[in-house]
Amino acid sequence: MITFAGETNAFTHRWMMVIVPRIVAAASLDATPFIYGIRHDAELRAGLTVTPTTSEALRLFLAHEADYALLPSSHYPDLTDAEIVTEYCIGSTARTGSALLVGNCLPQAARRILYDPASPTTAQLAAYLYKRHWRTAPEFESRTTLPSPEALDATTLCLLSDEEALLHGPNYAHQTDLGAEWRATTHQPFAYSLWIGHKENDKERTEQLQQALTYGLEHTYEALLDGGFTTRGYDAYGHLTCDIDYIYDNQKQQALRKFWDSGIKIAPRVNPG
């Protein structure tokens, strides 16, 4: 069979058009509208992977097994061949509700901070606030489970993120919202997670992702219904529409630059138990 050049080019063009970008995001309450929007795009949903942890999402992105990823903002300075690709993030302008420091003492009195390794930005933000705002230096220790209020001594606080903060935060005597403290310290908003892509990604696909995310945010209540978040004992819709700010603007970019340029990192001590 004879194939003309024009026919080959047309075939190649059609073949390229069906390549589905690989998108990864960790399952979380705050990411629910984004995941919902991608799942409602007839093409993008085929390439979506929802992981149980942000560390798995990061692994897939670093291995080039994902073209786009929703990743903790604290990881971005260490990524190569990567760029921020959408106008959306998971952020806050002040109080966030889902990044809490809880326990039986005030932050200034804490000597030990228990944190979840799956929420690195929350831990690094706490470290920033301790150095620049409260000016103390507690030890940071990773945890695998959430201790009850009774299990925490008078100088130990625990970091809670996402749905864990909304569900369990009210059980503790003292709650400190890291978003509110960051705002009080810097007078800026904050971004906890960003949409990151490899630099060689197709711009049309990036725009398609942006549109899918917009759809998800415009259908936040439907996304919460679909995910079963409307019957869990807290106001999920109020949280996402009032506490979380999904727009990644110049103010958040400047705030993250301050955060990254500080060079403040946690020096975790592994809990042997």
Q: Are 68 and 24 in contact (CB under 8 A)?
A: yes
Percent of the chain exceeding pLDDT 90 equals 87
Give the pLDDT score at 268: 60
pLDDT at 21 over 80: yes
Q: Which CATH architecture has domain 5-91+190-253?
A: 3-Layer(aba) Sandwich (3.40)
User: Is the domain covering 99-188+264-269 a CATH 3.40.190.10 domain?
Assistant: yes
Buried b (16+ CB within 10 A) or exposed e, 47-56: bbebbeebee
Tens-digit pLDDT profile for residues 55-82 = 999 999 999 999 999 999 999 999 989 9
The full set of domain ranges for the chain reads 5-91+190-253, 99-188+264-269
HSE, CB side, 13 Å, CA atoms: give it for residue 187: 0
Tens-digit pLDDT profile for residues 154-181 = 999 999 999 999 999 999 999 999 999 9
User: Do 5-91+190-253 and 99-188+264-269 agree at the fold level?
Assistant: yes
165, 190, 164, 192: which is closest to 176 by C-alpha? 165
Q: Are 193 and 62 in contact (CB under 8 A)?
A: no
Look up the pTM and report it. 0.90
Mean pLDDT of 92-105: 97
Give the pLDDT score at 8: 40
